[in-house]
Copies of this chain bind each other. A is one copy, B any other.
Amino acid sequence: MRGRGNGGGGEGEGAPATVVTPSAEFPPLDRAELGALRSIGEQWQVPSDGPPPAPNRLPLDPTLERTRAEPAPGRFGRLAPIAMFRAGEPGELVATEPANAPSTRAGQALFRCRRALFGPPLTSAAVFYERMRKLVALPVLSSDLLSSVAYGPEAMLAVLVLAGSTALGLSLPLAAVLAVLMVAVGLSYRQTVVAYPHGAGSYVVARENLGVRPGLLAAAGLMVDYVLTVAVSVAAGVHAVTSALPGLARYTVPLGLLTIAVLLAGNLRGVRAAGNLFVWPTYAFVFALLAVLLVGYLRAGARGFEPVPPPAVPAAEGLGLLLVLRAFASGAVSMTGIEAVSNAVPVFRPPEWRNARTTLSWMIGMLVALFVGLTVLIHLNGLVPTPENTLLSQLARATFPTGPWYALVQAATALILLLAANTAFNGFPRLLFFMARAGHAPRRFLHMGDRLAFSNGLVALAVTAGAAFLAFRGRTEGLIPLYAVGVFLAFTLSQAGMVVHWRRRRSRGWRRRAAINLLGAVLSGVVLVTAAITKFTEGAFLVVVAVPLLVLTSLAIHRHYRRLHRSLALHAPPDGRRPAPPAAVAPLPGAAEPGAPAEAQELPQQVQHLVVVPVARLNRASLRALAYAASLRQPTLAVHIAPEDPEADRFREQWEAWGDHVRLETIVSPYRTAIGPLAHYLEALRISRPDVLLTVVVPEVVVRRPWHRLLHSRAEHRLRRALRALPGVVVTSLPVHLAD
């Protein structure tokens, strides 16, 4: 069941499945392919044309004669290309940093901009894994989870208030139920930490225990989760700012998009090294909230814990079970981020699993305390959600009517939300990396950019999150209904996978462990179904549609890579197939019986050449193409396409004046097209001898300015496109650079 479609071998051979390496793009060959490679190599024969085996003697020094004194000046950049390489081990050159610069002028300008923005490139050797103490790990890993209390209680109350202000009292029992859910899911994840000491997210757990499709389902849920984490956190963060500074409210959308862009830029630059900087927003947020709770409860105690009656809000909907369930599902978004620790076990100091588990317990405890404490305090103060001012902002204002404390609470809230959005920028590209390694996502997500960041994944996340933010005009309450479905889908599959895990192992106490995970899975599943149904029309349908589409896309990608892998996998050539001719003669026409079809030729002695040179008119470009073709000393055919007979005759006269050195075939195209008849003629040639490999030599005029391209028919380009579909037709473009 393990994915094998990554084009070159199984994943995770040797390296643990959760380790990220820059070589992942180059998977090693497996044993069978290595054997095939050997046997292909043994049959390899080059028909050499004289005493010295010419192909192995090179006309120049490929090691670039690194001892040479004076490197010649180059045309790209200030450094000569020869100086861009230094000698490595024997037979090895090492590219220096300037060698990464692109060669076109526009590309170089872009390259310089990017470097100024994101810093100089980092070598592969700079990959490092920082181990974290609990006191550092706790804030870094919990920012996503704890920041959710900034919008979770509000999301719940915003639903309840639809049934009028009297329904707000239901928030207390709902908070109790959610607290139970948090503890249950938390206990469940504690076990994942123990079972996967190398760390494992929902995708890995579900794939390993439930199979590929559930794994992809979990991955799709996670992808949606990451995108919405960015969108919701940024929306809530901007809302925290605009609650304090209402003048900024009309810039919500540009502010949010700017924030996402800054997060993207920071992550492209690679901000992991700044880990310790990330510690204080979480602590600041927690202390700020604790201060709010402390002062708030003191004030409430001073009036005997008598709830302030909320302002009368008319009921927009009846108070039914559906509404209560909707409120419950909205409140459950406070649990997003609970899985962070289980992904990141290896970053803890040893014993990793124990430290991770302790951290997780602390996080759950804080979450329950903050969530319940805030919900009750909001109730006691009789606060009601309003679009302009977040509940947390109202609460902070009620608690600290004067002094700088209110502003500090809002600032800490905005900062932790920013940090929470940033965790998605860590998780999303890693998820895509693992999916890509298994062949379920485009392989470009395997590539580490020059700052050792998965640039493609980062950009993909920023673009989709920005689109979601823009689509909902940055309204947190619009995004919340989409949020719960993806999160709890991943939770459910992850916990269900753990149940299977324990059942398979049957280690000591497995029944108890399985029971805990089963409880977690069932509770998560209930929330998932509740959220999907009650929020369907409010936007959850988008996720309900997107998740299966993502899974189908992943499967289609996997199918394509599997087919690619099958097409490109090495097989030993069957012994009977076209034994290599012992004599070193070029195969003669007529004498050779049809051999392997052109695209199956993997040994030099199998390749049967015909070089075709399309010639529109005789000039230096076409003569160079003819000379190039003839110098290959393979059978050569020139083809001229004429729009009418007189032109064809005139051309043939010129051809004879030249000396008729190459066999010429003329095609009269009375409809004045050139590319179509030429492509069809080449196909006709190919059909008449499928074992002959056609090499089409086309001169390509290279212009220096982009607008000059408009002045050329770009026949080379069009011919290449027309010939692409034809198997066994090789296109060789001979550049012609214009003299000034």
Contacts and interface: CB of A to CB of B under 8 A. Distances in A.
A235 B669 CA distance: 41
A666 B93 contact: yes
B26 A651 contact: yes
Interface in A694-740: 695, 700-703, 708, 710-713, 720-740
Given A602-B623, A667-B92, A735-B727, A721 B104 contact: yes
A54 interface: yes
A387 to B, nearest CB: 40
B604 A630 contact: yes
A695 B631 CA distance: 12
Question: 9 closest Cβ contacts across the A-B interface?
Answer: A41-B659, A123-B670, A607-B631, A95-B677, A604-B630, A81-B684, A568-B619, A41-B658, A604-B631
Interface in A115-130: 121-125
Contacts of A662: 55-56
Interface stretch (A292-300, A324-332, A366-374, A642-650): A642-650
Given A124-B672, A666-B91, A730 B727 contact: no
A358 interface: no
A692 B729 CA distance: 25
Contacts of A92: 648, 665-668
Given A599-B736, A731-B732, A737-B599, A663 B28 contact: no
A94 B599 contact: no
A627 interface: yes
A681 interface: yes
28 contacts: A7-B617, A8-B619, A40-B658, A49-B633, A58-B635, A59-B587, A59-B592, A59-B608, A59-B609, A72-B688, A74-B684, A81-B681, A92-B665, A92-B668, A93-B668, A94-B667, A95-B677, A95-B680, A103-B723, A104-B725, A442-B711, A449-B672, A564-B701, A602-B624, A602-B627, A605-B631, A633-B633, A702-B725
A8 B617 contact: yes
Nearest to A63: B665
Given A633-B47, A708-B560, A732-B730, A85 B599 contact: no
A683 interface: yes
Contact of A724 (B40, B63, B80, B735): B735
A570 interface: yes
Contacts of A681: 64, 81, 85, 93, 95, 99
Contacts of A28: 650, 654
Residue among A72, A610, A643, A695 with max Cβ neighbours from chain B (10 Å): A643
A50 B586 contact: yes
Contacts of A570: 618-620, 623
B49 A49 contact: yes
A205 to B, nearest CB: 26
B670 A125 contact: yes
B734 A730 contact: yes
A54 B739 contact: no
Contacts of A114: none
Interface string A506-547: 000000000000000000000000000000000000000000
B647 A23 contact: yes
A651 B34 CA distance: 11
A450 B23 CA distance: 53
Given A26-B651, A634-B55, A735-B724, A673 B100 contact: yes
A661 interface: yes
A636 B76 CA distance: 26
